[in-house]
Amino acid sequence: MRPDAALSARLVVERAGFRLDAGLEADPGEVVALLGPNGAGKSTALRALAGLVPLSSGHVTVEGTDLTTTPTEHRPIGMVFQDYLLFGHMSALDNVAFGPRCQGVGRARARALAADLLDRFGLSDQARLRPRELSGGQAQRVALARALAARPRLLLLDEPLAALDAHTRVAVRSRLRGDLADFDGATVLVTHDPLDAMVLADRVTVIENGAVVQQGRPADIARRPRTAYVARLVGLNLYRGVASGTRVEVRVADGGPVEVTIAERRYGDVFVAFAPRAVALYRERPGGSPRNAWPARIDGVERFGDQVRVHLDGDLPLSADVTPAALAELGLGVGDRIWAGVKAMEIAAYQA
């Protein structure tokens, strides 16, 4: 455990049929995103940090203070829930003043603090409104202001953007990053949206089936996924293999080993990853470069932004992004047999 960590925790929660065992660390001011599929244990981890779920073992340490046995109401935490849970009968201002009031701050002082925070969040005009009179984005930000008003040392955000429509979400997501910038404690954010994690977090912890499967900076996770789930989230083709020199023998689920040529020299167990847009499709086996070319069958085709994502089944199952024009030119459709090629330079290989 680092002595200067803003948060250091090991969360073990055992339930019938489910076990969470996750380590979390954050530096001062850092935002850690817990990313994972439904039922992975993200909310359980957040609730365990808050003391709302008892730990079977492990610890929660915030800025050097062990909170493992501290009741929720005595933990220096601020929480923002998915549906914000604002007090419906109170104005935005009184919602935000609530925390300081509970901590014994006088009414006038608490309201001044709240007004200040709302002003910083650009919500002065909404201070007198009740929660039902606020837009989704405004309610989200009032909830965040309320959580911060109590001067927490650990901020816990549970899917803070989930209740917003797609359009509002984009705007609120980019503001949230700025709103959190002044907070010098640790923030833990639960999301199943990779974009939230990539935009908002300094560090991402991916949880699957109650276990941490990958941890790192967003860019590293995006470049170097280590599980099929993460690869799918960040949109890369991912395989495991054994490298010897510039060749990797990739083991695929069914079918024999496939050889992949990479640009760099590697040895031992590796992951190989490449982007769907790095894949070129050919009617006939391509000659010369690229050296990586595999026969495949088109399994499915879907629109993907301004591209078409082609799912291929074959020696090496993969996804390829091509322009609609390219697909039309090749005259390809589901069930057709083709060749897929990737240049060695486009393939990342890293230690497994």
Ligand X SMILES: Nc1ncnc2c1ncn2[C@@H]1O[C@H](COP(=O)(O)OP(=O)(O)OP(=O)(O)O)[C@@H](O)[C@H]1O
Residue (77 or 273) nearer to ligand X, CB: 77
Q: Does 36 bind ligand X (CB under 6 A)?
A: yes
The answer to whether 154 touches 186, Cβ cutoff 8 Å, is: yes
Pick 46 or 279: Cβ nearer ligand X: 46
Strands 211-216 and 237-250: unpaired
Size of the site for ligand X (CB under 6 A): 11
List Cα–Cα distances, 161 to 44, 56, 172, in angstroms: 18, 30, 8
- Strand ranges for the chain from DSSP E: 7-15, 18-26, 31-35, 57-62, 65-66, 77-80, 154-158, 186-191, 203-208, 211-216, 237-250, 258-274, 279-282, 292-304, 307-314, 318-322, 337-342, 348-351
Piece of 25-33, 37-45, 243-251, 276-284 that binds ligand X (CB under 6 A): 37-45
Question: Restricting to residues 161-220, which ones interact with ligand X according to CB under 6 A?
Answer: 192
Considering the complex, state which of residue 36 and residue 241 has its C-beta at the smaller distance from ligand X.
36
Residue 15 makes contact with ligand X by CB under 6 A? yes
Does 140 bind ligand X (CB under 6 A)? Our answer is no
DSSP-derived secondary structure for 95-145: HHHHHHHHTT--HHHHHHHHHHHHHHTT-GGGTT--GGGS-HHHHHHHHHH
Quote the least distance from Cβ 256 to ligand X, whole Å: 37
- Compute the distance between CA of residue 49 and CA of residue 70 in angstroms, rounded to an integer: 11
Q: Please tell me the distance from the alpha carbon of residue 262 to that of residue 347, in angstroms, as a whole number.
A: 6
Segment interacting with ligand X (CB under 6 A) among 35-43, 167-175, 181-189, 261-269: 35-43
Residues 225-244 touching ligand X, rule: CB under 6 A, are none
40 counts as binding ligand X under rule CB under 6 A: yes
Kindly state whether residue 41 participates in binding ligand X, applying the rule CB under 6 A.
Answer: yes
Nearer to ligand X, 39 or 324 (CB): 39
CA distance 268 to 244: 7
The single-letter DSSP state of residue 16 is T
CB of 72 to ligand X, least distance (A): 15
Place of tokens 């860019």: 219
Interacting stretch for ligand X, rule CB under 6 A, among 32-40, 91-99, 179-187, 252-260?
32-40
Q: Which residues pair with 18 in a beta bridge?
A: 15
When binding is defined by CB under 6 A, the residue of 3, 4, 38, 74 that contacts ligand X is: 38
Residues in the chain: 352
| Residue for token pair 């803070």 | 160
Residue 258 CB: number of other CB atoms within 10 A?
18
In the complex, least distance from residue 71 CB atom to ligand X, rounded to whole angstroms: 18
Binding of ligand X at residue 19 (CB under 6 A)? no
Taking the complex as a whole, the smallest distance from the CB of residue 11 to ligand X amounts, in Å, to: 11
Min CB(60)–ligand X separation in Å: 16
CB neighbour list of residue 170: distance below 8 Å, 6 or more residues apart: none
Kindly state the smallest distance separating residue 351's Cβ from ligand X, in Å.
28
Q: Which is nearer to ligand X, 192 or 223 (CB)?
A: 192
Q: Which of 1, 2, 14, 18 binds ligand X (CB under 6 A)?
A: 18
- Which residues of this chain interact with ligand X, rule CB under 6 A? 15, 18, 36, 38-44, 192
